[in-house]
Amino acid sequence: MQMKRVVIAGVVVLAASALAVANPNPAGGTISGKVTYEGTPKKMKPIDMSKEPSCAKMYATPPTGESVVTGPGNVLQDVVVYISAGAPDDAAPSSAAVFTQKGCRYIPHVLAFQVNQELKIVNEDQTSHNIHPMPKLNREWNKSQPPGTPPISEKYDKAEFIPVKCNVHPWMHGNFAVLKNSHYAVTGESGSFTLPNLPPGKYTVTAWQEEYGDQSQEVTISGGETKTVTFVFKAKPY
């Protein structure tokens, strides 16, 4: 029902949740901005996939870890920006959020979706994965997904940031951001985000990065204006 816009770069085509939908409330305000860092982020190391040749051969040069992904101009990617207070809870959209295992990586690395929204997990690799999200509030399950098996369909009924891992391939690491309302975005290559269609009101905007934690700012929307918010994370070199 509700609208959302998620700015994601690259391969993101797969992420159905990322598609912008029609805007039934064009009169609302917008919060947009950028997420950057200061300091020196730790260097992401190349992943050794030699134990899984079927994945290793998909890369000319080994991919690097994705827990901190930066871009030109000190921007941070894969940061979830969402309204943590001020907006009512929304019903889950009927579309599914899709999480794909390809080349022994998770695409997207951070998948944001809503409470009770369908989550589809797809294995496009020629190897067995196990999908082991490790929630604290939601149910913890752990399922095997050999190649060629149908997508796994799941739901989470509590808002939570959930680390996801594959025990068979210890380098595989991703995140689910289970959110209460539809006002959220995940930053892409440009590090920017837009939360449109916000009715007038006082909001807490929160940015969450898996290593650096979260930051919040208060923003008041009174009409159709666009407010700019900037989040700056302190990067840790280790």
The Cα 185–Cα 217 span in angstroms is 15
* Candidate segments 39-47, 81-89, 123-131, 179-187, binder of other proteins by CB under 8 A: 123-131
Nearer to other proteins, 128 or 215 (CB): 128
**15, 170 in Cβ contact below 8 A?**
no
- Binding-site member from 131, 179, 219, 235 for other proteins (CB under 8 A): 131
- Binding-site member from 24, 26, 39, 170 for other proteins (CB under 8 A): 170
The Cα 54–Cα 20 span in angstroms is 34
Length of the chain: 238
Cβ contacts of 136-145, under 8 Å, gap ≥ 24? 136/160, 138/162, 138/178, 142/167, 145/101, 145/121
- Binding-site member from 42, 43, 45, 51 for other proteins (CB under 8 A): 51
* Candidate segments 5-13, 21-29, 76-84, 137-145, binder of other proteins by CB under 8 A: 137-145
- Could you write out the DSSP letters of every residue in 169-208? STT-EEEEEEESSS-EEE--TT-EEEEEEEPSEEEEEEEE
Cβ contacts of 212-216, under 8 Å, gap ≥ 24? 212/37, 212/68, 212/236, 216/84
Amino acid identity of 108?
P
* Candidate segments 89-97, 167-175, 198-206, 218-226, binder of other proteins by CB under 8 A: 167-175
183 binds other proteins (CB under 8 A): no
How many other CB atoms sit within 10 Å of the CB of residue 54? 13
Closest approach of other proteins to the CB of residue 102, in Å: 17
Closest approach of other proteins to the CB of residue 140, in Å: 5
The Cα 100–Cα 111 span in angstroms is 10
32 binds other proteins (CB under 8 A): no
- Binding-site member from 43, 46, 134, 230 for other proteins (CB under 8 A): 134
54 binds other proteins (CB under 8 A): no
Q: Look at the block and give the residue holding tokens 């940061």.
A: 79
Q: Which residues pair with 161 in a beta bridge?
A: 177
Nearer to other proteins, 100 or 145 (CB): 145
107 binds other proteins (CB under 8 A): no
67 binds other proteins (CB under 8 A): no
Closest approach of other proteins to the CB of residue 123, in Å: 10
141 binds other proteins (CB under 8 A): yes
Which residues form the interface with other proteins (CB under 8 A)?
A: 51, 127-128, 130-132, 134, 136, 139-146, 149-150, 152, 167-170
